[in-house]
Amino acid sequence: MAAFSKDVLVIDLEAEAQRIAGEIRRIVAHECKRRGLVVALSGGIDSSCVAGLAVKALGPSKVFGVHMPERDSSGETLRLSQSVSTTLGFESTVEILTPILEGFGCYQRRDEAIRMVFPAFGPGWKSKIVLPGLEGGAVNVYSLVVQTPEGTIHKERLPLKAYLQIVAATNFKQRTRKTLEYFHADRLNYAVTGTPNRLESDQGFFVKGGDGLADVKPIAHLYKTQVYAMAKHLGIPADICGRAPTTDTYSLAQGQDEFYFSLPYAQMDLALWARNHGVSPVEAAPVIGITADQVERVYKDIDQKRVTTRYLGLKAQLCGAVPEITG
């Protein structure tokens, strides 16, 4: 096997785009028996890349985009996501999620949980949750970070009840988006795309019944580095291709690496590839740019996340066989 280097993630982009486009056509026509694809556009690299692949596979007239900003979305979200549908030339609509999420009590239930930790939390404050990262030997336990209206930052470890309720409340966002995607898919007789990349898909970084729910996931086998390269190849606007990945879910700006992954995506991709191909920590360390001990920790974290998030990818489990439909 060739030595491990950053080049392991280099692929023939046009050949892979053609192959994925063929798969999309087969899946939508023969597995789903639908007439087109719905893509939820977030202004991020993954959904933009999926839109590009959907257009390559089916043509712009068979792709429908949905833009779904809400109160906590970055001010840039809508402009960026609309630049994708405009550039690729497919029809799209804007669905403002805020009133729907207010109806669910999403913000109110989340803020109630935040006040279990910071009782003064209220209008003008911002929040996010973060993991410890690679420092020390800490167990992966989330902390809550808040910013007061005056700009002071406070950080506290999240107790169980508050943690679960914050995650449960924010999950309304991904699940509401998916509900609207299926509304448009059902009315058009289209199938729904899922936009997780390989890192997210493998490591369980998605909401079950939310962004994890889809009929076809065109980039779930591509490392994030490859998704960036593919998006550029497909003509996605440069300001999206140059943007760092964020969750765009919490009111304080939050990088995906502080929310979920132990490293920024470019290093995390290499670590995941190395883990998947049996590269030793000593060999992997100089390529990834961290120490062998840290690679060891990242490998453990990868394995642990696979085990603990397995539930997210499971179909509903049956308690008795129904061979006529399950094979």
Count residues near other proteins (CB under 8 A): 17
Nearer to other proteins among residue 164 and residue 253 (C-beta): 164
**Min. distance of Cβ 56 from other proteins in angstroms?**
39
Burial 256-294 (b: 16+ CB within 10 A, else e): bbbbbbbbbbbbbbbbbbbbeeebebeebbebbebeeeb
Chosen residue from 99, 119, 123, 137 binding other proteins by CB under 8 A? 137
**8 Å CB contact between 193 and 54:** yes
- Write out the binding residues for other proteins, residues 269-298 only, by CB under 8 A: none
Residue 93 sits at φ, ψ, to 5 deg, of: -140, 160
Nearer to other proteins, 194 or 212 (CB): 212
Among 132-140, 181-189, 195-203, 219-227, which window interacts with other proteins (CB under 8 A)?
Answer: 132-140
Q: How far is the CB of 171 from other proteins (least distance, A)?
A: 14
Task: Give the Cα separation of 37 and 192 in Å (integer).
Answer: 6
Q: Tell me the closest approach of the beta carbon of residue 139 to other proteins, in angstroms.
A: 5
State which of residues 15, 307, 322, 325 lies at the interface with other proteins (CB under 8 A): 307
| 88/295 with CB nearer other proteins | 295
Report the alpha-carbon distance of residue 132 to residue 143 in Å, rounded: 8
d(CA 243, CA 207): 23
DSSP single-letter state for residue 245: P
**Among 10, 141, 253, 282, contact with other proteins (rule: CB under 8 A):** 141
Instruction: Output 110 or 232, the one with its CB closest to other proteins.
Output: 110
Interface segment toward other proteins; rule CB under 8 A; list 173-181, 205-213, 249-257, 302-310: 302-310
Q: Is residue 313 involved in binding other proteins (CB under 8 A)?
A: no
Q: Are 196 and 172 in contact (CB under 8 A)?
A: no
Taking the complex as a whole, the smallest distance from the CB of residue 166 to other proteins amounts, in Å, to 12
Stretch that binds other proteins, among 73-81, 254-262, 303-311, 315-323 (CB under 8 A): 303-311
Q: Is residue 190 within the footprint of other proteins (CB under 8 A)?
A: no
Q: How far, rounded to the nearest angstrom, does the alpha carbon of residue 285 sit from its chain's CA centroid?
A: 26
For other proteins, the binding residue among 138, 238, 244, 282 (CB under 8 A) is: 138
- CA torsion 180→79→221→4, rounded to 10°? -160
Tell me the C-alpha distance between 28 and 53, whole Å. Answer: 13
What is the DSSP code string of 127-171? EEEE--TTSTT-----EEEEE-TT--EEEEEPPHHHHHHHHHHHH
Residues making up the chain, counted from first to last: 327
| Cβ–Cβ under 8 Å, residues 24 and 216 | yes
Binding mask 152-181 for other proteins (x = CB under 8 A): -----xxxx--xx-----------------
Beta bridge partners of 193: 216
Nearest CB to other proteins, comparing residues 19 and 157: 157
Strand partners, 129: 144
Q: Considering the rule CB under 8 A, would residue 319 count as an interface residue with other proteins?
A: no
Residue 323 burial (C-beta neighbours within 10 Å; 0-12, 13-18, 19+): exposed
Return the range that interacts with other proteins (CB under 8 A); candidates 135-143, 180-188, 192-200, 219-227. Answer: 135-143
Distance (Å, whole) CA 140 – CA 142: 7
Distance between CA atoms of 10 and 6, rounded to whole angstroms? 8
Tell me the closest approach of the beta carbon of residue 133 to other proteins, in angstroms. Answer: 13
Query: Least distance to other proteins from the beta carbon of 138, Å?
Result: 5
Q: Which residues bind other proteins (CB under 8 A)?
A: 136-141, 143, 157-160, 163-164, 300, 304, 307-308
